[in-house]
A and B are shown apart, each in its own frame.
Chain A
Amino acid sequence: MILWWIGDAILLVAVIPVVVYLLKGVLDAATSIVPSVEKIASAAAAGSKDLDATALLLTTQDQVAKTVAGVAEYGGSLDVILDDAS
């Protein structure tokens, strides 16, 4: 009977605090992750929204091609008009 009481005392003093301590640590860690995940989600959504303008790169590509073509034609005209250095 005395051993049983000793076992109860150990359960009350050692086992229960350790279990509570460990479980609380896991809960705190999981709780601290949630705000970080929410920030990452908002940042990823904002980044995705910022990339909406990438479609305009196709227009830029077209404009650059037209500009370079115009420069090439202008250079060809200059090549005809101006004499070479040597």
Chain B
Amino acid sequence: MLIASIQPAGAVTIVLALVVVLALVYYLVATIVQLRKITNGLDEVIASVGEIVQKSAPVNDVVDNINGQLDAGVALLEGLLVQKAGMADAVGLVEGLYAGSATAGFRNFPESATTKAPRIGEVYTKGTLTLARLGREAPVAKANPAGPVLRNVEGGSLAARMLYPDVRHTSPEKLPRSPVIGSDAPVQYEQRDDIGAPRKRQPAKGPAAGDPNQR
């Protein structure tokens, strides 16, 4: 009775309204599903960020502590170097090892930045600079800012042998033999006759004429 009384225009209106409602339901449900995925993803993000915050919380204190220890070590070594070598030589030695570092100077010695660095190679012997360079040849100096480690820490002993004035590091085919001494030695040295004998006397001189001691 009720349906029969509906006008055609009214029926079309009802159908269109149903279409609108179905469209709303479809898109809104799909949107809700996507928003639930986003919520779950954000939950994972929050959990991971919480772990990051928890794990990185003590990093600042530890790094500050490490930096403080290293600063103390640097201050100690710089002070010792300046005390033992003097300001000019200390700056020159550091400049000789790390070119350009003299302009920065030492941390606790502001006057070191204005100190003219001597050419340390002309002041000290090669041995001194060699000993100083051992810092880069040590295995612990891998992170040296002056460059890579000079010494092959795995099996290289050549660098250490090169420190000595020897020819052995050149691996010659034949090295000179040690000298043979004794009665069987191929080279015999004649014993001098005058060794242990009385010293020869010089001929006595006669009194010179006009000598005031001769009376």
Contact = CB atoms under 8 A, between A and B. Distances in A.
B13 A48 contact: no
Interface string B33-57: 0110110011011001101100110
Contacts of B19: 16
A60 B66 contact: yes
A79 B17 CA distance: 96
B73 A44 contact: no
Interface footprint category on A: 35 or more
A68 B10 contact: no
Contacts of B48: 41, 44-45, 47-48
B76 A64 contact: no
A60 B69 CA distance: 11
Contact of B58 (A16, A45, A54, A84): A54
Nearest to A58: B62
A85 B51 CA distance: 55
B31 A41 contact: no
Interface residues of B, number: 49
B202 interface: no
Contact of B69 (A1, A19, A27, A68): A68
B59 A57 contact: yes
Shortest Cβ-Cβ A-B pairs, 10 listed: A44-B48, A23-B27, A37-B41, A85-B86, A30-B34, A4-B9, A51-B55, A48-B51, A41-B44, A68-B73
Interface of A: 1, 4-5, 7-8, 11-12, 15-16, 19-20, 23-24, 26-27, 30-31, 33-34, 37-38, 40-41, 44-45, 47-48, 51-52, 54, 57-58, 60-61, 64-65, 67-68, 71-72, 75, 78-79, 82-86
